A and B are shown apart, each in its own frame.
Chain A
Amino acid sequence: MIGLEALYLIGGAFFAAIAVLSARDATNPKRWKNTAFWGLFAVSFLFGSHLPDAVNGAVVIGMVLVAGFGGLGRGEPATTTPAERAQSAARLGNRLFLPALAIPATALTGTFLFKRPELAGVVDPKQATLVSLILGVFAALVIALPMMRARPGVALQEGRRLLDTVGWAAVLPQMLAALGAVFAAAGVGEAIGQIAGQWLPDGSRFAAVAAYTFGMAIFTMIMGNAFAAFPVMTAGIGLPLIVLRFGGDPAIVGAVGMLSGFCGTLMTPMAANFNVVPAALLELSDRNGVIRAQVPTALLLLLANTALMYVLAFRF
């Protein structure tokens, strides 16, 4: 059955290739740091499931020490000039969109297909979307490589060019997910819930609703993830006050409460995959550029959520 382990082998092979190509790139003054960083990441992907957890931890610490001081370098793999790209775009025309759209198309078809009973056992149904997405990558390569008369090595070098623009930020989302797990093990959520509980306003419905929606947003900003905030804030404020004492509708409180958390996600660098990674990927000079673009909408929506919960929760 194709599941996460197969994907980890593919990912490991990709990061190993990046490490090797980085080692051979003399244009990158920090090429050995890049090699060590992506090499260690490849080790985690290829062998992580079989290594003792202490060794996995040591691999992470190694990566952090390599990238944490002085960062990684940026290689300069051979690519096309703007003039060549314009020429190629004119020659290939809209055919260029075909591989780009093959990725989501395959992801979509696969997600539905692999959940059908006839295909049970081929792909782990829980990972159907991720497996299909990676299949889509290969489908796109099969279309694009002959179309552009390129060898697979060229695609790997182009991939390295993009991965170098993202740099160590590429690992940050996974690192934050790991931090979340450590927080959970150490009981950080409960501790925050206790503090929030002590500040609880009593009496007014509106104060309870506002404490819950703003609490969701702030807690989400700290943890980087609304899923971590939801159980704690709802157990602390949403359920005991809004639902049980004031008789609010639990479905409305839950749904709008979660969406208030999402407002927080838009405003924090802790949500790295949504905010920090795209800033790197789009080569913004300001690491918080994406957050800046989102803050006005996030704040207005937080106010709207508070009003919606106050108006709707006690009426239905």
Chain B
Amino acid sequence: MLSLIGIVVVVVGFVARLNPLLVVTTAALVTGVAGGLGPVEVLETFGKAFKENRYVSVVWVVLPVIGLLERGGLQERAKALIGQVKAATTGRLLLLYFILRQATAALGLTSLGGHAQMVRPLIAPMAEAAAEAHHGPLPDPTRQELRAHSAAVDNIALFFGEDIFIAIASILLIKGFLEQNGILVEPLQLSVWAIPTAFVALVVHGARLMLLDRRLAKTLADGRGE
């Protein structure tokens, strides 16, 4: 039970808004010591785990390309393109991205989206431009909210699409776990039962995006308007 002290550190640290790197490291060291490891062993365990998870950070190598394209006006081009489409509202645009992201994730193509590759250079600027085209210049809080919604669409569509694919890590984890407990299920059986939730996610979040459009129209009514 003493090992749970690390969780207390994490929760208190995040609530107190301390620097997360400090919080996480402290939690790891405290947990290790509480778990009966010596100081050097704790350092070794944490160092080894950090080293073995370097693949998580490899994706940052994408940043020079994204930065270079921003320098060349990619965001501006994306905005211009969406500004020409009269029917494009923020909500409809994000819903379209939701559907594409969910459908491709369901086919196992999870690397087609992402915050660094798609959301920052393309989706967020387009969401802002679509709102600007209808309502004029955006106040900063609205701009920030639209960006947050762009990131949210990428996450939600991914989470509730990928499990429809039979070879995704989470499906294999479920299958492996059940198998250890003597229950044999086929990946297909599992992925089929991910479909109802995927459908509900599309409906729920789609409805929220349509409401977002309405709210933008209402709060930004002083702008150019429709």
Chain A contacts to B: CB under 8 angstroms: 4, 7-8, 10-11, 14-15, 41, 44-45, 48-49, 51-61, 63-64, 67-69, 71, 79-80, 82, 84-90, 92-94, 96-97, 99-100, 103-104, 107-108, 111, 127, 129-130, 133-134, 137, 140-141, 144-145, 147-148, 150, 154-163, 166, 168-183, 185-188, 191-192, 194, 222, 226-227, 230-231, 234-235, 239, 243, 250-252, 254-259, 262, 265-266, 269-270, 272-279, 281-286, 289-290, 292-294, 296-297, 300-301, 304-305, 308, 312
B49 with A181: CB separation less than 8 A: yes
What is the minimal beta-carbon distance from B201 to any residue of chain A, in angstroms?
A: 6
**Chain B interface, >50% SS class:** helix
14 further contact pairs, Cβ within 8 A, besides A186-B32, A277-B115: A14-B61, A57-B47, A63-B21, A79-B71, A140-B65, A162-B116, A162-B120, A181-B48, A254-B185, A255-B163, A255-B192, A282-B147, A286-B144, A293-B151
Interface size on B, residues (CB 8 A): 108
In the assembled complex, the Cα of A186 lies from the Cα of B30 at a distance in Å of 10
Q: A60-B25, A96-B72 are in contact. Are A255 and B174 (CB under 8 A)?
A: yes
A258 with B63: CB separation less than 8 A: no
B159 with A108: CB separation less than 8 A: no
B64 with A107: CB separation less than 8 A: no
B47 with A100: CB separation less than 8 A: no
Chain B contacts to A: CB under 8 angstroms: 1, 3-4, 6-7, 10-11, 14, 19-22, 24-25, 27-28, 31-32, 34-35, 37, 40, 42-77, 80-81, 109, 111-112, 115-117, 119-122, 124, 144-145, 147-152, 154-156, 159-160, 163, 169-171, 173-174, 177-178, 181, 183, 185, 189-194, 196-197, 200-201, 204-205, 208
B55 with A130: CB separation less than 8 A: yes
B72 with A88: CB separation less than 8 A: yes
